[in-house]
Each structure stands twice: as structure tokens, then as C-alpha cells.
Amino acid sequence: MKKVIAYVNNYKVHLLVQELQKIGIDEIIVTEYFKPRKKISRLELRCGNNWVEQVRNIVHKNKTTDNMNDNCFEVKELDDNNESIFPNFCE
């Protein structure tokens, strides 16, 4: 299992979440950060090893500009114990 963290422009974050849910990603944490004239969203999700490239393609497809630096994508290894990425108080 992998934990994917993506930083994206928050203008398309809701569309991005919908696209990820269509492929079966059922745990997504969104944190939005705001500064004057800057807004960014941090997405965290859990997916199988074989889904990482599909998730990456969806994130890059839903960027807001043609600039490749419009988003950031990070992948971390998770234990294979199938635990939720949500904090305990969310369940």
C-alpha cells in the first residue's frame, strides 16, 4: 500500500476528489491552506501499489495551468495492515 500526498491548486480540488473517487479511492483527506493571494490544497490518500501511476495521471490532468510545476506529488510506503489513513476520531 502507498500513501500519496499531492499539493494542488485549490480551484480544482473538488473535481480532483470526484475523479479519484470514480476509480475507487475511498479515503481522501483534504487540507486547504490560505495566504493572501495564494491558496493551496493538500490531498492525502491511500491506494494500492498498482494504482499510483493512475492517481498521478489524474492529479496531473487536473492541474490548473500548463505549467508542470502546478502541483507536487509524493509517494510513501505504508504498512500492509490495511489501516485507515484517517485519524481515530474520524471513524
Helix (H) or strand (E) holding 63: none
Give CA–CA dist 87/91, Å, rounded: 8
Helix (H) or strand (E) holding 55: helix 52-61
From 17-21, 55-59, 60-64, the region with the lowest mean pLDDT:
60-64
66 pLDDT higher than 60: no
Query: In the predicted model, what is the mean pLDDT of the chain?
Result: 81
| Residue, of 68 and 78, whose pLDDT is higher | 78
pTM for the complete prediction?
A: 0.77
Q: What is the pLDDT of residue 78?
A: 81
Geometric angle at alpha carbon 29, from 91 and 68, rounded to 5°: 165
Q: What is the layout of strands, in order, in the sheet containing 72-77? A: 28-35, 38-47, 2-9, 72-77
Tens-place pLDDT, residues 4-15: 998 888 888 888
